[in-house]
């Protein structure tokens, strides 16, 4: 049995080496990140307190890309585009990898998805002045009579909400906080880790309340690969293997902790 396991390990290692060797000589892999940003996972230059828009792409995805593609001498380049453009170019254009994607049946059909890269915690948030009417509400169906607001282009199925009844008013979270403050929205929907990263100072200085949704599980996010790119299946195998290793070693968790701590 030990010899069989060693043989399987050697075969996996050989397959990985052959994959990276084949990819290393190709044209650069084009990686698309949304221009609105998704801290702490994708931070385009100029975001998160950076005052120079030409500063390099940063965040957890940047760490993964450098470790997985850079380590194996696979050339790549990150481009920052509007989300709909990333989706279009990753389906029929020049983009090979789209970062920070939630999964749904249509995307599973249109793209090749990696194993989960990271997962996030769905929460609702609102101002403490509304606490009397909102505190008992912990499930999505409890909010049926309220104006629920979220971000444009984002999917809220995992929150238990029909996307059509979420007022998706802005790509950014700050305008949603403003709409809550002036009473245009009753509650907002967000992923806790992103909310804390983007609006940490505002949250500390306000009467904002964050609360998990009952029945909502942590939501997985993926990289999506262009099915028309002949490298995609080999890239998926490499990415899945390396991401698993980085979590097993605890390195991915340490990267994320450092980013969240700022």
The verdict on 180 and 88 lying in the same domain is no
Residue 71 lies in a domain: yes
The verdict on 81 and 192 lying in the same domain is no
CATH number at residue 142: 3.40.190.10
Instruction: Determine the length of the chain.
Output: 262
The verdict on 90 and 17 lying in the same domain is yes
The verdict on 18 and 71 lying in the same domain is yes
Per-residue pLDDT of the chain (262 residues; tens, 9 = 90+): 544 444 544 545 545 555 555 565 568 999 999 998 898 999 997 544 333 445 689 999 999 999 999 989 999 999 999 999 999 999 999 999 999 999 999 999 999 999 999 999 999 888 876 655 565 566 778 788 889 999 998 888 888 888 889 999 998 888 998 999 898 998 999 998 888 877 776 666 677 888 888 778 889 999 999 999 999 999 999 999 999 999 999 999 999 989 887 6
The verdict on 28 and 100 lying in the same domain is yes
Number of structural domains, the chain?
2
Residue 242 lies in a domain: yes
The verdict on 115 and 14 lying in the same domain is yes
The domain containing residue 145 runs over which residues? 122-212
The verdict on 241 and 157 lying in the same domain is no
The verdict on 143 and 90 lying in the same domain is no
């Amino acid at each position: 049995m030990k010899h069989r396991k060693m043989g399987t390990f050697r075969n996996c290692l050989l397959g990985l080496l052959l994959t990276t060797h084949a990819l290393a000589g190709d044209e650069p892999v084009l990686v698309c990140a949304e221009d609105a940003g998704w801290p702490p996972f994708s931070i385009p230059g100029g975001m998160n307190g950076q005052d120079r828009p030409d500063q390099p792409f940063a965040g957890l995805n940047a760490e993964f890309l450098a470790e997985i593609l850079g380590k194996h001498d696979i050339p790549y380049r990150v481009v920052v585009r509007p989300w709909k453009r990333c989706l279009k170019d990753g389906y029929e254009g020049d983009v090979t990898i789209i970062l920070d994607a939630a999964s749904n049946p249509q995307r599973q059909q249109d793209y090749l998805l990696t194993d989960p890269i990271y997962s996030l915690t769905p929460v609702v948030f609102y101002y403490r002045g509304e606490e009397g009417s909102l505190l008992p509400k912990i499930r999505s169906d409890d909010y049926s009579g309220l104006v629920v607001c979220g971000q444009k282009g984002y999917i809220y199925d995992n929150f238990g909400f029909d996307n059509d009844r979420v007022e998706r008013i802005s790509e950014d979270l700050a305008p949603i906080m403003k709409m809550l403050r002036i009473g245009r929205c009753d509650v907002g929907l967000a992923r806790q880790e992103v909310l804390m990263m983007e609006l940490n100072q505002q949250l500390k200085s306000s009467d904002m309340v964050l609360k998990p949704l009952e029945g909502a599980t942590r939501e997985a996010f993926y990289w999506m690969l262009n099915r028309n790119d002949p490298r995609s299946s080999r890239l998926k195998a490499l990415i899945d293997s390396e991401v698993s290793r980085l979590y097993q070693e605890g390195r991915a968790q340490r990267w994320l902790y450092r980013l969240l701590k700022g």
